[in-house]
Amino acid sequence: MLGPPGATQSAQGRTALPVTTGNPPSATFPWERPLTSTTPPTSTSLSLPAPVPYPFNEQGDGLGLHAAYADAREGAGMVRVRLPHGEPAWLATRYEDARFVLGDLRFSRAMALENDEPRYNAARSKPSILSMDPPDHTRLRTLVSRAFTRHQVEGLRPWVRELTSGLLDEMVAAGSPADLVENFALPLPVQVICELLGVPASDRGQFRVWSDALLSTTRLTEDELKENQDQLTGYLAGYVAERRADPRDDLMSGLIEARDAKDRLSEEELVSLCVAILVAGHETTASQIPNFVWTLLEQPEEWQRLVDDPELVPGAVEELMRYIPLGAGAAFPRYAKEDVEVGGVLVRRGEAVVVSLGSANRDPARFDEPETLRFDRPANQHLGFGHGVHHCLGAQLARMELQEALRALVTKVPGLRIAGEPEWKRQMLVRAPRVLPVGW
Amino acid sequence: MGAWHIEVDENVCVGSGMCAALAPDRFVLEGPAASVVQGAADTDADEVLLDVADSCPASAVTVTDGESGEVLGPRP
């Protein structure tokens, strides 16, 4: 049974949603807190604008970016927001401010653990590589980064090409229509990250449950979230013990060696790092593959452009990374270690800032015609992989997987089309179809 | 002229700090982009520099042969 034709579906895509939550930020806030003010942080609440409810995007379908972001970019740039949990924060919406906050070492991720950090779920985040500052962060990151260099990643490309080809052959053989997520978008990154880490891809059904739980916002209770965290941690701790007894040629064995031989990683860091790699290593890529397909099939001339010339795929991947606001809202707050001026606003020591990558990536001050897909966009320094010390560790791997996935799709199933209503993820940090029926 | 020459493309740099962590005597991350330490751009051959070029998430670090200008890193 086929769904409605593509034309009907495009209506619910990226059209900006109407402003329905709270008051949209405007240029009328009293930003003029003098930069020379000596008011201590404890009494600044009186001079700060009232925070607006955040995230702007409601839990809805599609990959739209709320109109409030454009209003904020054109207005104050830095906006006071209140997330569902934790203290209020500044929201950076402009490209320049976003890049500055992510890249400046006066902003700390570690301080989020000591504060009531702005967040989507009641549960506090656990210490991980994402909540560390240099030099602790650097120590961990250099250990793992060797597995994710371009050199290493290029070595995996032929195998990934075979994998994408094999998965599509199986999907096509089983007949149209099929769920692109279950048959292609999910198994590909899961198999890649499992291969790298050294855990069996056959457990991927279980990873999906745990990973969904760890990236959920309000879907689970605090107890349920903790239970899932503990299960995944226990699962990986089991493999760590196994690899310690019987090392192999995989990333986990390499990390264990770094832990045991050089004493550079604590056991807790080791397991938490494996959790981070497993979750971050597949959920985002598995989400971006259907997001790419959805976005391209909404603009069929762009899909056709890639079918006609697959050499455009690498540029298309960069542009789609820029264009698609993957995150449901800005996350991972940074805390100012001292007073810092950002985009004309004084962020006081101890105040939190969240950065909207999706908004920064559509900033007309940085990108010409930001609402238009342009595969040949020059110097496409998008923030899709973030920026600064927490810039995506797996960016090169993700790029290679996304390039191979897209190349395989446009060459093997050039007639791909949406064949039914997608089912969108709900209450997750990342947005994407959970189920995407496609035909060919 | 040293045996090798190192450069950081500050327009491409994402400020990950990998270079400054792996070779703190040659790279520094102060402000939004990393740079080569003053006077350290021409250097003796050193394997760690190829690791730096390979590890950079933005491929912003280039290692070239000081004589021929041949690109040595990042390795393909």
Interface of chain A toward chain B, CB-CB under 8 angstroms: 99-100, 102-105, 134-135, 138-139, 141-142, 145-146, 149-152, 154, 379, 381, 385-389, 391-393, 395-396
Q: DSSP string covering A203-228, please?
A: GHHHHHHHHHHHTBSSSS-HHHHHHH
In a domain? residue A194: yes
**pLDDT (tens digit, 9 = 90+) per residue, B32-65?**
789 999 999 999 999 999 989 988 888 899 999 9
For residue A15, how many other CB atoms are within 10 A of its CB?
12
- pLDDT average, residue stretch A85-97: 97
Q: Do B16 and A389 touch (CB under 8 A)?
A: yes
DSSP for residue A60: -
Average pLDDT, chain A: 86
- Classify residue A376: in a domain, yes or no: yes
Confidence of residue A276 (pLDDT cuts 50, 70, 90): confident
Share of chain A above pLDDT 70, in %: 87
Could you tell me which residues come within 8 angstroms of residue A41 by beta carbon, excluding any fewer than 6 positions away? A348, A349, A350, A351
Which residues of chain B have a CB within 8 Å of the CB of A140?
none
Of A389, A390, A397, which to mutate for an interface test with B (greatest number of B Cβ within 10 Å)?
A: A389
Lowest mean pLDDT among A229-238, A332-341, A359-368, A405-414: A229-238
Domains and CATH numbers, chain B: 3-73 (3.30.70.20)
Q: Which domain holds residue A12?
A: 8-439
Residue A425 counted as domain residue: yes
Predicted local distance difference test score (pLDDT) of residue A146 = 73
Q: pLDDT tens across A396-414, in order?
A: 899 999 999 999 999 999 9
Res. A185: pLDDT tops 80: yes
A2 occurs within a structural domain: no
Do B46 and B72 touch, CB atoms closer than 8 A?
no
Residues sharing a CB contact under 8 Å with residue B39, sequence separation 6 or more, in sequence order: none
Report the residue from A104, A149, A389 with minimal CB separation from B54.
Answer: A149
CATH code assigned at A345 = 1.10.630.10
Contact A388 B22 (CB under 8 A): no
Question: Measured between CA atoms, how close is B20 to chain A, in angstroms?
Answer: 9
pLDDT of A293 reads 98
Under DSSP, is residue B8 helix (H, G, I), strand (E, B) or coil?
strand
The rounded mean pLDDT for chain B is 90
Peptide bond into A177 cis (omega under 30): yes
CB contact under 8 A, B55 and A146: yes
* Cross-chain residue pair A104–B16, CB shorter than 8 Å: no
A429 vs B9, more confident: B9
DSSP state of A294: H
Residue type, A41: P
Residue A336 Cα distances to A77, A106, A107, A108, A411, angstroms: 17, 6, 5, 6, 48
Helix (H) or strand (E) segment spanning residue A21: none
- Is there a domain that residue A428 lies in? yes
Residue of B29, B31, B55 with shortest CB distance to A149: B55
- Poorest-pLDDT segment among A17-21, A97-101, A286-290: A17-21
Asked if the interface predicted TM-score (ipTM) of this complex is over 0.85, the answer is no
Judged against a pLDDT cut of 60, whether residue A12 lies above it is answered with no
**What pLDDT is recorded for position A292?**
98
Residue A154 to residues A195, A372, B59, B69, B74: CA-CA distances in angstroms? 15, 30, 13, 24, 12
Does A20 score more than 80 pLDDT?
A: no
Does residue A3 lie within any of the structural domains?
Answer: no
Residue A336 within any structural domain of the chain:
yes
Degrees to nearest 5, angle at CA A356 with A355 and A360: 110
Q: A391 and B58 in contact by Cβ < 8 A?
A: yes
pLDDT in tens, A23-36: 333 333 333 333 43
Strand partners, B64: B5, B71
User: Using a CB-CB distance cutoff of 8 angstroms, which residues of chain B are in contact with residue A155?
Assistant: none
What would the two tokens of residue A90 be? 């500044």
pLDDT of residue A69 exceeding 70: yes
Distance from CA of A147 to the nearest CA of B (A): 9
What pLDDT does residue A254 have?
83
Q: How much is the pLDDT for A219?
A: 67
Q: What is the pLDDT of residue A28?
A: 32
pLDDT of residue A260: 67
- Taking CA–CA distances from B20, the nearest residue in chain A reads A138
Q: Please state the φ and ψ torsions of residue B62, each to the nearest 5 degrees.
A: -120, 135
- Per-residue pLDDT at A380 exceeds 70: yes
Q: How many domains does chain A have?
A: 1
Contacts of A342 in chain B (CB under 8 A): none
Q: What angle do CA A219, A222, A227 make, to 5 degrees?
A: 100
Whether the per-residue pLDDT at A38 is higher than 50: the answer is: no
For residue A395, the chain B residue with the least C-alpha distance is B57
- Tell me whether residue A179 is in a domain: yes
> What is the band of A10 on the pLDDT scale with cuts at 50, 70, 90?
very low
pTM for the model stands at 0.85
A228 or A72, greater pLDDT: A72
**Which pLDDT tens digit goes with each residue over A135-154?**
889 888 888 887 787 778 88
Q: Do A150 and B54 touch (CB under 8 A)?
A: yes
Q: Is residue A333 scored above 90 in pLDDT?
A: yes
Q: Do B14 and A387 touch (CB under 8 A)?
A: yes
